[in-house]
Every structure is written in C-alpha cells, then in structure tokens.
Structure 1
Amino acid sequence: MTAAADTAADGSTAAPAAARLPARWLILAVICLAQLTVVLDNTVLNVAIPTLSRDLDATTADIQWVINAYSLVQAGLLLAAGSAADRYGRKRLLLAGLALFGVGSLAAGLAQSSGQLIAARAGMGVGGALLLTTTLAVAIQIFDAEERPKAIGVWAAVNALGFAAGPPVGGLVLAHFWWGAIFLINIPVVVLALVAVRALVPESRNLSGHRPDLLGALLSTVGMAAVVYAIISGPEHGWSSGRVLLPAAGGVLVLGAFALWERRVPYPMLDMEFFRDRRFVGAVAGVVLITFGSGGTLYLLTQELQFVRGYAPLEAGLRIAPFALTVVALNSVGVSARLMRRLGLPLSIAVGMALLAAGFTVAALPSTDGYGVLLLGLVLMGAGCALANPAIVEAVMGAIPPEKAGAGAGVDGTMSELGTSLGVAVLGAVMNARFTALLPAAVAGAGSLPAALAAAGTDDAERGAVMDAFTSGIETSQLAGAAAVLVGGCVAALLLRRAERPGPDAPAKAKAEAEAQ
C-alpha cells in the first residue's frame, strides 16, 4: 500500500497493475457510501415539504430556501473544492468534507426553526462540495487505466441511485420518525466513513501545482452562487424581476471575469483549454441535460403523487423507487458496463438519454390504469440513467489528466448542480405557467395548488377543474424535460463522435510522439 500511496502522492496516474492497492474496492465502497449520503440530501426533502410547512410553520419561501440552500452553497464551492483537493490532498479534504457534513446534519436534525434549518443546510452544502469532488478524485487515483472505467461506473451508479432514492428514503423515515431524523441518519454513516477513510485511503495530491489561485476560487464561487440563486429564485419572483435579472447578470459577468483570469494566470484553478476538447464539451453538455431532466421530473413527480393522487410521503416515495431499483439492478449485474464496451461512449450516451426521455414521456401520459404507465416510465428512466450516467462521467474524466482529477470532479459536480437547479426552476416554471393559464375564472390568480383549492371551496366542479389544470401543467413540463434530454443526448453524442475521429494531422502527431519516445 505504501508504494501505491507514494506514487499517487507524486501526482502521477493510478498505480500499475502490479502495485494495485489490495483494499481499493473496499475504499471505493467507503467513498461511495459517503457519496450516496451527500446525493440523497439533494432530493430526500422533496417528500417532506408538507411536513416541514406544518411543523415549522414555514412559508413557501422558507421551504424553497431549506431545499435550495444546500444546492446553492454546494454549486458555488465545487470548482474551488476540486482545485483545493488536487493541491492540498484529496484524503485531507475528504476527511474535512465528512466532518463538516456530519456537523451540518446534526445541526439540521436539531433545528427548531426554518431559519436554523436553512443555515444548517448551507453548512451541509460546504461539506457536500468537498465530498462530491474528492470521492471521484480518489477513485481516479486508486484505480489504474484498466479498472478505472468499472470503478467510475460504480461511482456513477451510486450517484444516480442516491439522486433517485431520495424520495423513498425520505418517505420511509417520515413514516416512522419526525422530520429531523432525515438528517440524523447521516451521522452514523459519517462516523463510519471517517474511520474507514483515515485507515484505508492513501493520500494523493498534485505536487507539481503552483501557488493557490485565490482570486479564481473567489470569482468561481461568487459567479456560480449568483447564477444558481437567480435560477432558483425565478419561479418565485418572476424571471423579469430585478431580484432575478440582477444576480443573473452579475453572476454571468463574474464567471466571464473568471474565464478571462484563468486564461491569463500561469497557475489556473481550472484550465480553460479543457473547453477546446470536443469530448469534454460534449460530456459536460450531457451532464447538464441529464440532471436537468432528472431533477425537474423527480421534483414534479413527488408533487403529483402527493397532491394529485393523495399518497402519503412513504407511499409516494415507494412508488418512485423503481427508478432507483432499475439503476441498481442494471449496474450490479454488469449490463451497463457491457453495453458501454459494446456501444462506445457516444452511442451509450445517446441511447441512455433517449431511454430517459422516453421514460419522461411515458410518465407524462394520461393514464386510466393507475400505476402501470408510471411504473413503465420509471423503469425506462432508470435504464437510461444506468447507461448514460457512467458513460458521461467517464467522458468527462477521460478528457482531463489524472493529476487534475479534483478539478475534473469539480466541473462534473458543478454542472450536475447547475442542471438540477435549472430543471427544478425551469420545469417548475413551465408547470406553473400552464397551471395558472388553465385555472377556471373563479379562482384565477391563485399562485399555488393549495391556494386554488382553497379559493374553489366546496364546489366539486371547480375543484376538479383546478386538479385538471395542475395535472396538465405537470404533464406539459415533463414533456419539455423529455425534449431537452433527447436534444442533449444527441448533441453530446455528436460532439463525442467527432472528437473520436482522427484529424488530418493525427498521423504526423503520432509519428512525432513515437520519435520523441
């Protein structure tokens, strides 16, 4: 283990087969457990919205901030966290992330007001940013080129599982405990991971790096936080309001300044040359669109199952569970890995995202048989995620040198958070626009389903029209998400396919490299 750890610490690629860490798969299991907990917290609160509103006497704005504070802080810090992990040590930052996430979870579980819960969720976001980047970066370092695709596949499957399993886990906890237990169940996982990481994970860092890019870290954090804030505030304040346009414009300007600074500074936090690589750009486009569709659709489905179909949180969560179970099943038996090898990355992404789009479409179809149509849609969605997710992560990390694995993980995580926030905000806005447009005249102007039902009173016809309008809004937004995912899959696959084609100067480059050796 010592030799492998020293090699990784020197900033080289993963150790050769002869020096493979004996505990590498156990290490992967540990970091995936930590990753699962972090990703779960992105969606686990979706089924707790009615409970939080009642127990904390929280307003709609309070609930939005309880959910969004986590993703907002996390998205803002991901790029800086990835760069810091490469420089200061991936194991060190992994331990710090676990500790911060555990403290934040404890504070959230014991919160007595919506304000306290929002602050605790923001603290969890800091730890989550460190964990999301370091778990993938560690996996890149401890596996060699032969085993790395399989390891990334496992990591990506756990990532998709956590995202999809949030609603059923949240529903299960709420069925037996109070809402604070959703956060307190993180504590034993964090303690176990801290002990295992300290004992098993070798330290690794990029020792060839220059001094820290502090200005780049500041610009990326401020810019991403402002953009994500604008996105999640759009549905509440209106997309043309100053409270949305000002942070959006400011965030774009700051991110532009960040890009200019990174191109000029000799020690960039994020090498902007990555974006000249079609493979990298195609994979990043896939990350944004797959999380856009998945995040928005799960957000809408949990509302439909509770508000329209009348299910309790546990029942709603269990009915979404086939999405996660399909992801686990296809990855655990190796189906996804075999298809990736046979199809290649571009076609795997295209097929996976086409299946995902088909699942969204089927789930949006009006159904008279109860759960059957939705079940088919969820299985198709899970199959698409199981194939597309590992292929996208492999494409992102394959376009980045292993010594910059933290930065690559930061880009992947940032784009995932951006896509999820966009999905919830944009598809939520589409749903709300359709809903309000179809409301009957007697309740026109109601800004939410509960408000519209309250305005309709006991008039069954009016209440039925309100529910029909809400259902139509959800169907329309899901179809919009399906279209976005399908287009994204085609674009990502096309860019990756073009990147794989050798250019006209490829033979000359190959000859020059051979002579240099």
Structure 2
Amino acid sequence: MRTWGPLTAVCLGTFMLLLDVTIAIVALPDMARALDASLSDLQWVMDGYALALAALLLGVGAAADVLGRRRVHVAGVVVFAVASLLCGLATGPGMLVAARGLQGIGAAAMFATTLPLLGSVYQGRRRSVALGVWGAVSGAAAAVGPIVGGLLTDGPGWRWIFYVNLPVSVAAVWLTLRVVPESRSARGRRIDWAGTVTFVAFAGALTYGAVRAGSHGWGETGTLVWFAGAALALVCFLVVERRVADPLLDPRLFLRPAFSGVMAGALAFNAAAFGAMAYTSIWLQTLLGMSAVRGGAVFLWLSLASFVVAAAGGRLLHGVPARLTIGGGLLLIGAGQYCMAVLDAGSTASALIPGLVLVGAGTGLVSPGIAGAALAAVPPERAGMAGGALNTFRQLGYALGIALFGTVLTSRMQDTLPADAAHALAGGGAGALRDVFGEGVLRAAFAGGLDAVAVVAGSTAAVAGVLVLALVRRPPVTKSTVTPAGSRALTQEATEETAARRE
C-alpha cells in the first residue's frame, strides 16, 4: 500500500476526469431526446466541462501551492462527485450544462494537483515508474471513453455515464486521505485572483461567442458584443500578468517563437483531432442508425492507431527533433481530416476509417513530445508555468473546436435546409424531420456539413503544423520528447525546481 497506494489514488481521479472529456460523446443523441435539448445545449454539455477545466487549471494550481495540494485534490474529487450526481439527476438541459461546468471545476482541482502529489511521494526510479503508469492511465481514459459511454448508454442508460463516477470518487477520497501526504510550497505562490478571473472571462466569452454565432450569425450584434468582451478580458489579463509578482502565465514567454509555436500547436491539436467527434457521433447514430456502442467503436480506429504509433515512435524516433514529430503529426492529422471530407448521402461509417487512422497516427506523434517541447522553449524557472499553459491550451482548443465546428456544420447544412431544421438535425433531431424533408435530403445535408467541418479541422491542423515546423527550432534538452512518461517526468522535475527556486 505504501508503494502503490498514492499512485492508485491519484490515477483514480485522473482516469475519471479524462474519461469524462469523451465519455459523453456517444450519449448526446439520447440526452437530446430525453431532455429536449437543442444543438447549443449539446455543445455546452461538452464545452461546459472542457472550458471550466481549461480556464481554472492555472489558477487552481497556484492556489494548491498555498492551501495544500492534497486538500485541494480531495475537494476537487468531492465537487466532481456531487456534480456527477447532479448530471445524472438532470431534468433539463440547463441543469445538465450547469452540472457539467461544476464537474469541470472539480476536474481542474484534481488535474492541477496530480503531478505535484506524485512528485512529493515518489523519487528516482520509482517516480519514473509512477509517471509511466499515470501516463498509461491517462491515455487509456481518453481512448475508452466512447466505448464505455456507448456500453452504459445502451445498457442502463445515459445517466449512468455520470453515476458510475460516484463509487470511484468515494474510493479515491478514502485512499487519498489515507495514503497521500499533504504537500505545499514552503513560502507558496501568491494566488493571482485577478489573472484567474480575467482569463476565465476571456475563455468563457470567446467560447460563448463562437457557440452563439452558430445560431445567430457571426455579424449579429450580440455575437459581436461577446467577442468584444473576450478581447477586453484578454487585454485585462495581459495587463494583470505583466504587473503581478507571481503571474499565472507570463505574456513575455510568447515573445519566444518556440513557445508560441508549441502553444499554437497545442491549441490546434485538441481542436482538430477531437473537436468534431461529437457531431460525427450524432451522424452515426441518428442518420446511419448505429447503436451507441457501435458508434463509439468507430472511434477505436483513431485510438488504436494512436497507441501503436506512440509505442513504436518511442523506439524508432529516438532523437528526432520535437518540431518534426509535433509538426509532422499535426500535418498527418490535417491529412486525416481531409480524407474524411468525402461523405455524401450514401456514405457509411467505413468511409471514415482511413481518415481516423491518419488522425490517430498524428495524435500518436504529437502527444508524447509536446510537453517536452513546451518545457524546452522556456527558462528552467518557468517550466512549471509552461506545463500548466500547455494543458490549458489543449483543453481550451477542445472547447473552441466544438463551438467552431458546430457553427460550420449548421452553416453548411443551411445550403440545403432552413436554419431551424439545420439546427434540429445537427442536434440529433433527424427523426422529427424525416417526414418533412425525406431521408435522402437529411443524409446529404448532414454529410455536407461534416465535410465542411473536416476541411476546417484539417486546415487548422495543417496551419498549426507549418507554424510548429517554422517556429520550434530549438530541440528539447533531454530525450523526453520520445515517450509520454518521459515528458511528464520532465514536467514534474521542472515544476519542483520552480518551487524550490521560489522558496
């Protein structure tokens, strides 16, 4: 228990919070029917969680240094469990979206404290083993999310994708309190409340504006007001971060081309690779008639390709500069998305397989090395900040991808369908529209919308890949770019070095 107990406790929380990023994807059509949810409701079911996780990671991590990392971690698990119960009990889309946001708050507290807790318990070889196990658990959570979601949705029902978190949360809290020691910085960082608030305002306004644009248009007054608010919040955040003693994210880091390139790659990576999965799942189930399990199984092609490439790359790409693996991986993701832009009214799920394999291969190249590249792009004393920024940009990219691609999907559908019908179809309402428009028209409209999404996602990945190749010129100073465990170990060691320098 002394050896594996802390690792088990931390991995339980990590598995839950990362599983919930993707587990709801295949349940969206059932949620829409049960709660009479619109497309924007479904977008916020996914975005509410990812956005809260992204917006609060940096601030919660700084607070944990002061308040105690174990205390904040346990509080996060409790909040996550309560929110999961509320998600399962939701009687309408508003309640579900609010509960998902609360889940994201708990997940941020858990995720921000995971590596510091492991670093405080394990040293030397044991730390490497612990980080390797943690990395495997992290990858497995994202990979099995659609499958677990499909099994639960087709079995006891979609509400159980949230109820299943309750016993795991109880075990995680009990084990953490029993075997994980408390840790904090001796002096501690001063909590940057102003930076936290302004960054949350920026991320929230930007994402809401993108979601609103899908139903009201990009030029509509309300949409422009939200985008203007996001721009104002961003300016305020940058001003605050230049003035505070312990910033969440030092804006001067973006003057380093390598750092800017890695952050652009991280933002585009999660958006391009995973942002369209929710809409693809709705197409598979409501237009092709697949069950939630079969629909989730389609995404296994991506997961398997990612696993194989990441495992093989650890041996075959040893010593290859990170800019080549990250930039090349993003270009592969772009190529995979372009390969999926071939759908029409007669297409089946098999049309997606080549593209999913390429996206998975690109993911397997990007994921292992991107953390090491971020850390290599900054001075050692800023390594902890760079690691937190990387996780934030990845989750923010996912949230923005869902919002943007939903807008692209419905805009393209409106070439064939009225606006209200396009939004209903994208939100899983094909059944109510068949008698009015016919099966062929609906399938053609949805396929055309997914083609447009794939083109935008592919272009996003391709542009980011070129930026990474052009900007990330300095190779990592260690071999951490070749394995997930290695990059995470470097993140942890650098984070501790940062804390030691502050103390």
TM range (shorter): 0.7 to 0.9
- 1:234–1:35 distance in 2 versus 1, CA, 3 Å: farther
How far 1:157 sits from its partner (Å)? 5.8
Structure 1 vs Structure 2: percent identity of aligned residues? 35
TM-score norm. by structure 1 comes to 0.81
Show CA shifts across 1:72-123 (max 9, x none): 3333322211222333333332222112111211222233333332332222
Match of 1:341 among 302, 318, 327: 318
Q: Higher Cα Rg: structure 1 or 2?
A: 1
Q: Is 1:353 aligned to 2:330, yes or no?
A: yes
Tell me whether 48-57 or 395-404 shows the greater mean CA deviation: 395-404
Take 1:401 and 1:200, find their aligned partners in 2: how far apart are those partners?
34
Instruction: Tell me the residue number matched to 1:111.
Output: 90
Take 1:404 and 1:152, find their aligned partners in 2: how far apart are those partners?
21
Take 2:178 and 2:316, find their aligned partners in 1: how far apart are those partners?
35
Take 1:371 and 1:111, find their aligned partners in 2: how far apart are those partners?
32
How far 1:28 sits from its partner (Å)? 4.8
Instruction: Tell me the residue number matched to 2:399.
Output: 421
Show CA shifts across 1:241-290 (max 9, x none): 23322222112212211211211222323333332333322221111011
Residues 259 and 374 in structure 2, CA contact (< 8 A), matched pair in contact too: yes
How far 1:401 sits from its partner (Å)? 6.9
How far 1:217 sits from its partner (Å)? 2.3
Instruction: Tell me the residue number matched to 1:433.
Output: 411
Query: Secondary structure, in 3 states, of the residue corresponding to 2:472?
Result: helix
Q: Is 1:362 aligned to 2:323, yes or no?
A: no
Tell me whether 55-64 or 260-269 shows the greater mean CA deviation: 55-64
Residues 210 and 407 in structure 2, CA contact (< 8 A), matched pair in contact too: no
Residues 297 and 360 in structure 1, CA contact (< 8 A), matched pair in contact too: no
Residues 173 and 181 in structure 1, CA contact (< 8 A), matched pair in contact too: yes
- 1:39–1:405 distance in 2 versus 1, CA, 3 Å: farther
How far 1:490 sits from its partner (Å)? 2.4
Match of 2:193 among 208, 214, 217: 214
The amino acid that maps onto 2:469 is: A
The correspondence of residues 147-186 of structure 1 with structure 2, limited to 5 A, is 158-186=137-165
Take 2:355 and 2:320, find their aligned partners in 1: how far apart are those partners?
23
Tell me whether 443-452 or 421-430 shows the greater mean CA deviation: 443-452
- 1:152–1:402 distance in 2 versus 1, CA, 3 Å: farther
Residues 97 and 126 in structure 1, CA contact (< 8 A), matched pair in contact too: yes
TM-score norm. by structure 2 comes to 0.83
Instruction: Tell me the residue number matched to 1:4.
Output: none
Tell me whether 490-499 or 471-480 shows the greater mean CA deviation: 490-499
Residues 89 and 203 in structure 1, CA contact (< 8 A), matched pair in contact too: yes
Residues 27 and 158 in structure 2, CA contact (< 8 A), matched pair in contact too: yes
The amino acid that maps onto 2:257 is: R
Take 1:344 and 1:435, find their aligned partners in 2: how far apart are those partners?
42
Take 1:444 and 1:297, find their aligned partners in 2: how far apart are those partners?
20
Residues 286 and 430 in structure 2, CA contact (< 8 A), matched pair in contact too: no
Query: Secondary structure, in 3 states, of the residue corresponding to 2:190?
Result: coil
Instruction: Tell me the residue number matched to 1:280.
Output: 259
Take 1:400 and 1:91, find their aligned partners in 2: how far apart are those partners?
28
Residues 280 and 399 in structure 1, CA contact (< 8 A), matched pair in contact too: yes
How far 1:456 sits from its partner (Å)? 6.3
Taking only aligned residues, the RMSD between alpha carbons, in angstroms, comes to 3.3
Tell me whether 26-35 or 49-58 shows the greater mean CA deviation: 26-35
- 1:433–1:161 distance in 2 versus 1, CA, 3 Å: farther
Instruction: Tell me the residue number matched to 1:65.
Output: 44
Q: Is 1:242 aligned to 2:221, yes or no?
A: yes
Query: Secondary structure, in 3 states, of the residue corresponding to 1:299?
Result: helix
Query: Secondary structure, in 3 states, of the residue corresponding to 1:70?
Result: helix
Take 1:256 and 1:145, find their aligned partners in 2: how far apart are those partners?
42
Residues 42 and 163 in structure 1, CA contact (< 8 A), matched pair in contact too: yes
Q: Is 1:379 aligned to 2:357, yes or no?
A: yes
Instruction: Tell me the residue number matched to 2:288.
Output: 309
- 1:382–1:26 distance in 2 versus 1, CA, 3 Å: farther
The amino acid that maps onto 1:86 is: D
Tell me whether 199-208 or 34-43 shows the greater mean CA deviation: 199-208
The amino acid that maps onto 1:222 is: A
How far 1:144 sits from its partner (Å)? 6.8
Question: Aligned pairs, how many?
Answer: 473
Instruction: Tell me the residue number matched to 1:122.
Output: 101
Residues 137 and 405 in structure 1, CA contact (< 8 A), matched pair in contact too: no
How far 1:227 sits from its partner (Å)? 2.1
Residues 353 and 489 in structure 1, CA contact (< 8 A), matched pair in contact too: yes
Take 2:354 and 2:141, find their aligned partners in 1: how far apart are those partners?
20
Show CA shifts across 1:218-245 (max 9, x none): 2222222222222333213322223322
- 1:454–1:197 distance in 2 versus 1, CA, 3 Å: closer
Q: Is 1:53 aligned to 2:32, yes or no?
A: yes
Instruction: Tell me the residue number matched to 1:391.
Output: 369
Tell me whether 131-140 or 403-412 shows the greater mean CA deviation: 403-412
| Runs (5+) with no aligned partner, structure 2 | 478-503
Take 1:197 and 1:405, find their aligned partners in 2: how far apart are those partners?
27
The correspondence of residues 193-208 of structure 1 with structure 2, limited to 5 A, is 193-208=172-187
Instruction: Tell me the residue number matched to 2:465.
Output: 489
Instruction: Tell me the residue number matched to 2:440.
Output: 464
Take 1:206 and 1:236, find their aligned partners in 2: how far apart are those partners?
47
Residues 83 and 406 in structure 1, CA contact (< 8 A), matched pair in contact too: no
Residues 322 and 475 in structure 2, CA contact (< 8 A), matched pair in contact too: no
